[in-house]
């Protein structure tokens, strides 16, 4: 590959990254409204159903290794904070994969199915897992990309501040 082709390719990659959406762009803004079916399809839920609560949206997929570690910790977190609602949003292509993972991990949390990935696109999710913390007024306060054990501690501290 010639030098000019390499420079052109790198320029295109850089510009694509600059123009691509970024969930951090949502900070301080009203969270995008949505309505999705629950995993299992027994009901439909919307963001407005959680109005007045602190909401942690967690975008996940059954093929995501770190999601398998973060989801049980998030499920437990819901019991620790009064006024918090954790909402998992699966972006699996097949709902049965999301159902299987919920069962395998014994998750007791609200789980919605975004098979068309329209909500993930509205929240500009670019990696798994991604969590979005929304305050009682519906404003995005923080975006957490990826998972580490320390991230759960950070989330708990941020949630605690919002619930004071």
**Per-residue pLDDT tens over the stretch 126-157:** 999 999 999 999 999 999 999 988 899 999 99
pLDDT of 22 above 80: no
Which pLDDT tens digit goes with each residue over 112-129?
999 999 999 999 999 999
Does some domain include residue 10?
no
Reported pTM: 0.85
Report the CATH number that the domain containing residue 99 is assigned in CATH: 3.40.30.10
pLDDT band with cut points at 50, 70 and 90 for residue 8 = very low
Does some domain include residue 136?
yes
Which pLDDT tens digit goes with each residue over 53-107?
999 999 999 999 999 999 999 999 988 999 999 999 999 999 999 999 999 999 9
Does some domain include residue 108?
yes
Tell me the residue range of the domain where 142 lies: 25-163
pLDDT of 45 above 70: yes
Query: Into how many domains does the chain fold?
Result: 1
Residue 74 and residue 69: Cα distance in Å, rounded?
A: 9
Does some domain include residue 5?
no
**pLDDT the model gives residue 57:** 97
Transcribe 73-130 into DSSP letters: HHHHHHHH-TTEEEEEEE--SSHHHHHHHHHHTT--SEEEE-TT-HHHHHTT--SSSE
Transcribe 31-56 into DSSP letters: PPP-EEEBTTSS-EEEGGGGTTSEEE
């Amino acid at each position: 590959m010639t030098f000019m082709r390499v420079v052109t390719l790198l320029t295109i990659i850089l510009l694509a990254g600059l123009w691509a959406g970024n969930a951090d762009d949502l900070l301080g803004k009203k969270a995008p409204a949505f309505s999705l079916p629950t995993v299992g399809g027994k009901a439909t839920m919307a963001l407005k159903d959680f109005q007045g609560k602190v909401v942690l949206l967690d975008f996940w997929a059954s093929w995501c290794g770190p999601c398998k570690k973060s989801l049980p910790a998030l499920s437990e977190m819901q019991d620790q904070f009064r006024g918090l609602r954790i909402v998992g949003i699966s972006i699996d292509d097949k709902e049965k994969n999301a159902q299987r993972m919920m069962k395998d991990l014994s998750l007791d949390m609200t789980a919605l199915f975004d098979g068309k990935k329209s909500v993930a696109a509205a929240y500009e999710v670019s990696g798994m897992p991604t969590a979005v913390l929304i305050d009682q007024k519906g404003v995005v306060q923080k975006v957490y990309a990826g998972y580490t054990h320390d991230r759960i501690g950070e989330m708990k501290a941020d949630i605690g501040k919002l619930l004071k």
